[in-house]
């Protein structure tokens, strides 16, 4: 009994025990009360009963006392914790203030890592994670038609009508075409307005609400409905200054008045269009353009809630099969397919974003390793401080907590600065906009991004802080004090940790540099691709002599183009001018063709060739050489036999014996006798489908022998192209003041657009790799340099025993080489293993390109050598007498 009490008192010394206290208190009360009653003459038993009676229900009151105590103690503990935190924080801030260089470098390093991650995450968030501005976007599916020779073709209007009637997997299907343009007149100078045609159910299906007025509805689709137009927010703001009174008023598009019925919200952009019109009236005005067999629309379906994508697509394919049977002439071999709308929008950019996210993740890891290195070397010099505090009674947990607090202060400061870097970085990213990143305007540093930054900061702090903190808490105080602050005991373990961290840094830097090297090399290959024509000094602009009443027939349009070309060629400085239906890198029109001399085996696998209608001067202007035969000539007029030129690779493919000249080709299946052409010449290939795709084979038709209402004016000049724009405009105005000169650009700029996206990824990964390299070399330098300081005594002894200075340099450099060689080896293995991820972004270089990997490895070894050289020379200058005496 006495022992138990003494034990409890001993325990109480370490902290109060609420339960035992209450019990002891009540027992004391009972004893006192009983004694008092006995003193008044009661028997002991009676007195005890009376005391109990007066006390009431013991268990009940004991419970009340205990719970009150527990609440009080809990609060006290929380207050104490908070005050410890405040104390730790104050201490951390003081100790960092005393060491501003350390704090500055650590915070800056972390800020770089966290900032880069936050910036890239804001892109990922904006592009991939933010929901689309539509109702239940997860159920939206993009749809298209397929052919045996093409995975993806646009949809025919009448096929769509039948889809809507017969399919069962989608709530509804809509179609749209974003490639039209109107000439807007009546508001100052004639202006080109990019339009999209949409079906009446388009906005209902997407679930979009107007910012102003109303949007296009099914009723607007009827052929007799009045002409209406909806403006996109950007166009409404930039062209009409956001004037709300425009709603209900009329604007003139292609000489037809259209009533402005509404404006789209800012978040909803229909590609880069300005104006949206219902397609019903367009179809009614020009039925042949939309006849079965002509494909011109993109499709979007909304899945029924309980139907899977696969089932809905299979059902749609069933409808397509029915249509192939019902309309064999137009629909043989035509199928249908689709994918979630998000995949269509961002599918292409996803691999690049994934690579960027991994790259910045590596940068952050390297930053962590570096700061951990710094903290470790700092904690080595603070060893005596910790030992002293431990000896004076600080618990190990308290020390660990203290060090962790310091790390978190660093990482949060780094995070705050990092958000600043991210804000600037996002501006930079938007400025670098390759034009191919979808939804780029959705990228902002918003709450999600800030939460991400806070999370990354905290994680970072724990990541680089916990290891060093635990290690410092571990060291035995006696040793540390005895070693006089040199810390050789715990120092060995610490040194090993630092070496491992450095090896990891080098390995990650190798991976990043390898990625950057591959992208750089691929970019170099891409920019050195010969497009097949000379883009320098060529100005391009789009001209349409089309809509309205002025141009009734092809002759009038052709005459307008003739007049325009004559005036342009007369401009001083212009050496050549031509028009063509497409620019060379983006020939859109493809056609199934039949060669008279080649028998048709399978009607569904007819050869496909690009078809470009051009003015004869096209080849001279773009400097595309003639291989054999003759050029198109002014004499190839209507009424004369139709002639074409064919590109070299197509000529070789279809006529390997070289007998191509004079061959006859039909555009189509041979059934239309008016579409027979004679091949009169062969020209060199040009890239027709971007820079990376092999030329797919093209035939060039003479403008004078074809319908020609819209095309690209291409002008080669001997003066800088910028000076030409005004002269071109006035030349066009002389021909027709109501026709705008649209999309004025240079061929060089058009070419640059094709390399913009690879340039974007290459630039970013290179920047990240540069940061990684910098951090890794700082890491190597830090470790080697610290090691030299630690071993100066030993080096002194060696030198006193006869070691040469060159031996000392060799010793130190050798250590650096061992670490970096290990890092490079691991890095190369990692790079080989992960390189597949890059393959979709590479052009003309394999993901395991030995040249890139070899030079990266050699480069890093060189950098490590350079980083180790300064400390090595310092070691060589050590004066043995001084070093040994100091030890």
Partner 1 sequence: MTNDLLQGTLDVLVLKALSWGARHGHGVARLIHQTTDGDFEILDGSLYAALHRLEERGWVDSEWGLSDKGKRARFYSLTKRGRQQLRLETATWQRYVTSVSKLLTAATVPV
Shortest separation between residue 26's beta carbon and partner 1, angstroms: 7
704 close to 638: Cβ distance less than 8 angstroms = yes
Query: Considering beta carbons, is residue 34 or 766 the nearer one to partner 1?
Result: 34
Distance CA 201, CA 297 (A): 14
> Rounded to the nearest 5°, which phi and psi values hold at 261?
-105, -15
Spatial contact of 865 and 813, defined as CB atoms under 8 Å apart? yes
Burial of 269 (0-12, 13-18, 19+ CB in 10 A): middle
Near partner 1 by CB under 8 A: residue from 20, 48, 49, 69: 69
Minimum separation from the CB atom of position 45 to partner 1 (A):
19
Q: Which residues contact 448 (CB under 8 A, 6 or more apart)?
A: 125, 129
58 binds partner 1 (CB under 8 A): yes
Long-range contact set of residues 28-36: C-beta below 8 Å, sequence gap at least 24 = 29/55, 30/55
Q: Does 71 bind partner 1 (CB under 8 A)?
A: yes
- Does residue 65 touch partner 1 according to CB under 8 A? yes
Query: Closest CB to partner 1 among 26 and 462?
Result: 26
Contact call for residue 7 and partner 1 (CB under 8 A): no
Of the candidates 7, 11, 64, 87, which one interacts with partner 1 according to CB under 8 A?
A: 64
Q: Which helix (H) or strand (E) holds 725?
A: helix 724-735
Residue 350: how many CA atoms within 13 Å on its side-chain side?
Answer: 9
Under 8 Å between Cβ of 845 and 521: yes
* 40 binds partner 1 per the rule CB under 8 A: no
CA dist 654 → 38, 532, 559 (Å): 126, 21, 36
Residue range at the interface with partner 1 (CB under 8 A); choices 67-75, 674-682, 752-760, 808-816: 67-75
Q: Among 17, 20, 23, 33, which residue interacts with partner 1 (rule: CB under 8 A)? A: 33
In angstroms, the CA 568 to CA 562 distance is: 10
Q: Residue 64 or 722: which CB sits closer to partner 1?
A: 64
Q: Does 50 bind partner 1 (CB under 8 A)?
A: no
Look-up: residue for tokens 């750089």?
520
Q: Closest Cα partner for 443 from 431, 426, 459?
A: 426
61, 289, 493, 575: which one contacts partner 1 (CB under 8 A)? 61
- Both structure tokens of 439: 């939804």
Instruction: Show Cβ contacts of residue 829 under 8 Å, excluding neighbours closer than 6 positions.
Output: none
Judged by beta carbon, residue 71 or residue 653, the one nearer partner 1 is 71
- Nearer of residues 6 and 90 to partner 1, judged by Cβ: 6
- The yes or no reply on residue 77 touching partner 1 (CB under 8 A) is no
Tell me: does residue 31 bind partner 1 (CB under 8 A): yes
Number of residues counted as binding partner 1 (CB under 8 A): 24
For partner 1, give the closer residue by CB, 60 or 877: 60
| Per CB under 8 A, 60 contacts partner 1 | yes
Minimum CB separation of residue 58 from partner 1 in Å reads 7
Nearer to partner 1, 26 or 417 (CB): 26
Do residues 643 and 630 touch, judged by C-beta distance below 8 A?
A: no
Please report, as residue ranges, which positions from 10 to 29 form the binding site for partner 1 (by CB under 8 A).
Answer: 21-22, 24-26, 28-29
Identify which of residues 61 and 833 has a Cβ nearer to partner 1 in the complex: 61
Smallest separation (angstroms) from partner 1 to the CB of 72: 4
Question: Which residue's CB is nearer to partner 1, number 29 or number 289?
Answer: 29
Residue 690 has φ and ψ, to the nearest 5°, of 80, 180
Q: Give the range of 48-56, 274-282, 598-606, 627-635 binding partner 1 by CB under 8 A.
A: 48-56
Give the angle 179-183-184 at the CA atoms, nearest 5°. Answer: 120
**What are the φ and ψ backbone dihedral angles of 213, each rounded to 5 degrees?**
65, -140
State which of residues 43, 57, 83, 222 lies at the interface with partner 1 (CB under 8 A). Answer: 57
In three-state secondary structure terms, 467 is: helix
428 touches partner 1 (CB under 8 A): no
Residue (64 or 672) nearer to partner 1, CB: 64
**Nearer Cβ to partner 1, position 7 or 61?**
61
Instruction: Note whether 424 binds partner 1 by CB under 8 A.
Output: no
H/E element holding 543? strand 538-544
From 15, 41, 56, 131, residue interacting with partner 1 (rule: CB under 8 A): 56
**What's the closest the beta carbon of residue 61 comes to partner 1, in angstroms?**
3
- For strand 742-746 and strand 698-702, is the pairing parallel, antiparallel, or unpaired? unpaired
Per-residue exposure over 709-724, b if at least 16 CB sit within 10 Å of its own CB, e if not = bebbbbbbbeeebeeb
Task: List the interface residues with partner 1, window 135-164 (CB under 8 A).
Answer: none
Taking CB under 8 A as the criterion, which residues in 120-139 touch partner 1?
Answer: none
- Site membership for partner 1, residue 68 (CB under 8 A): yes
For the chain, report the end-to-end CA distance as a whole number of angstroms: 60
Residue 854 vs residues 829, 857, 858: alpha-carbon distances, Å: 12, 5, 6
In DSSP terms, 711 is beta-bridged to 543
Pick one of 55, 90, 244, 694: the residue that binds partner 1 (CB under 8 A): 55
Contact residues for partner 1 (CB under 8 A)? 21-22, 24-26, 28-29, 31-33, 36, 54-58, 60-61, 64-65, 68-69, 71-72
């Amino acid at each position: 009994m006495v022992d138990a009490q003494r034990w409890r008192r001993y325990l109480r010394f370490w902290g109060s025990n609420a339960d035992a206290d209450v019990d002891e208190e009540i027992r004391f009360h009972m004893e006192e009360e009983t004694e008092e009653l006995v003193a008044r003459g009661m028997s002991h038993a009676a007195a005890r009963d009376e005391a109990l009676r007066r006390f009431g229900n013991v268990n009940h009151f004991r419970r009340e006392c205990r719970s009150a105590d527990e609440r009080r103690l809990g609060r006290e503990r929380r207050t104490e914790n908070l005050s410890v935190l405040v104390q730790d924080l104050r201490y951390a801030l003081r100790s960092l203030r005393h060491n501003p260089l350390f704090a500055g470098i650590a915070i800056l390093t972390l800020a770089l890592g966290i900032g880069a991650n936050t910036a890239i995450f804001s892109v990922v968030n904006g592009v991939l994670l933010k929901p689309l501005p539509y109702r239940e976007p997860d159920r939206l599916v993009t749809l298209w038609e397929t052919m045996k020779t093409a995975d993806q073709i646009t949809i025919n209007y009448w096929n769509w009508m039948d889809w809507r009637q017969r399919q069962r997997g989608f709530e509804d299907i809509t179609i749209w075409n974003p490639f039209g343009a109107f000439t807007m007149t009546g508001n100052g100078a004639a202006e080109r307005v990019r339009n999209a045609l949409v079906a009446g159910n388009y906005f209902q299906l997407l679930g979009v609400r107007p910012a102003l007025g109303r949007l296009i509805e099914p009723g607007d689709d009827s052929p007799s409905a009045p002409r209406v137009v909806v403006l996109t927010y950007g166009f409404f703001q930039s062209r009409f200054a956001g004037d709300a009174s425009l709603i209900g008023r009329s604007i003139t598009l292609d000489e037809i008045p259209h009533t402005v019925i509404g404006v789209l919200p800012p978040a909803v952009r229909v590609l880069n269009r300005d104006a949206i019109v219902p397609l019903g009236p367009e179809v009614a005005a020009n039925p042949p353009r939309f006849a079965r067999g002509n494909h011109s629309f993109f499709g979007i379906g909304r899945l029924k809630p309980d139907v899977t994508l696969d089932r809905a697509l299979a059902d749609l394919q069933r409808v397509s099969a029915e249509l192939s049977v019902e309309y064999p002439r137009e629909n043989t071999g035509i199928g249908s397919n689709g994918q979630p709308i998000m995949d269509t929008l961002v599918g292409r950019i996803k691999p690049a974003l994934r690579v960027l996210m991994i790259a910045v993740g590596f940068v952050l890891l390297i930053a962590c390793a570096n700061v951990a290195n710094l903290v470790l070397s700092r904690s080595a010099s603070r060893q005596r401080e910790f030992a002293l505090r431990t000896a004076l009674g600080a618990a190990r947990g308290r020390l660990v907590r203290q060090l962790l607090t310091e790390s978190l202060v660093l990482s949060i400061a780094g995070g705050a600065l990092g958000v600043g870097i991210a804000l600037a970085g996002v501006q930079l990213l938007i400025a670098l906009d390759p034009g191919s990143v979808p939804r780029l305007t959705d990228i902002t540093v918003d709450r999600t991004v800030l939460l991400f930054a806070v999370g990354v900061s905290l994680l970072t702090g724990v990541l680089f802080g916990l290891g060093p903190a635990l290690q410092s808490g571990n060291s035995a105080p006696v040793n540390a004090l005895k070693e006089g602050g040199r810390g050789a005991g715990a120092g060995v373990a610490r040194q090993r940790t630092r070496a491992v961290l450095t090896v990891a840094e080098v390995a990650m830097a190798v991976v990043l540099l390898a990625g950057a090297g591959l992208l750089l090399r691929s970019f170099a290959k891409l920019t050195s691709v010969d497009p097949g024509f000379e883009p320098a000094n060529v100005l391009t602009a789009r001209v349409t002599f089309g809509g309205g009443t002025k141009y009734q027939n092809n002759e009038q349009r052709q005459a307008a183009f003739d007049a325009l070309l004559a005036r342009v060629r007369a401009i001083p400085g212009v050496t050549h001018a031509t028009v063509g239906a497409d620019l060379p890198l983006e020939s859109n029109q493809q056609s199934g063709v039949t060669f008279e001399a080649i028998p048709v085996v399978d009607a569904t696998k007819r050869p496909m060739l690009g078809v470009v209608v051009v003015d004869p001067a096209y080849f001279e202007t773009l400097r595309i050489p003639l291989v054999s035969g003759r050029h198109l000539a002014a004499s190839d007029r209507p009424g004369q036999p139709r002639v074409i030129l064919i590109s070299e690779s197509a000529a070789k493919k279809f006529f390997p014996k070289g007998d191509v000249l004079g061959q006859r080709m039909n555009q189509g299946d041979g059934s239309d006798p008016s579409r027979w052409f004679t091949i009169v010449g062969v020209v060199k290939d040009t890239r027709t489908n971007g820079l990376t795709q092999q030329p797919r084979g093209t035939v060039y038709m003479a403008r004078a022998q074809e319908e020609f209402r819209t095309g690209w004016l291409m002008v080669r000049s001997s003066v800088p192209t910028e000076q030409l724009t005004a002269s071109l405009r006035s030349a066009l105005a002389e021909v027709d003041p109501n026709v705008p000169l649209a999309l004025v650009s240079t061929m060089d700029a058009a070419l640059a657009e094709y390399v913009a996206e690879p340039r974007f990824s290459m630039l970013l990964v290179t920047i990240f790799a540069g940061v990684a390299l910098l951090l890794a070399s700082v890491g190597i330098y830090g470790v080697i340099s610290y090691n030299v300081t630690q071993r100066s005594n030993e080096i002194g002894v060696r030198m006193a025993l006869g070691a040469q200075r060159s031996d000392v340099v060799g010793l130190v450099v050798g250590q650096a080489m061992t670490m970096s060689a290990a890092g490079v080896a691991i890095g190369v293995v990692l790079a080989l293993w992960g390189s597949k991820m890059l393959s979709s972004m590479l052009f003309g270089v394999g993901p395991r390109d030995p040249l890139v990997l070899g030079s990266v490895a050699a480069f890093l070894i060189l950098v490590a050598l350079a980083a180790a050289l300064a400390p090595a020379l310092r070691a060589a200058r050590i004066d043995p007498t001084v070093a040994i005496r100091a030890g």
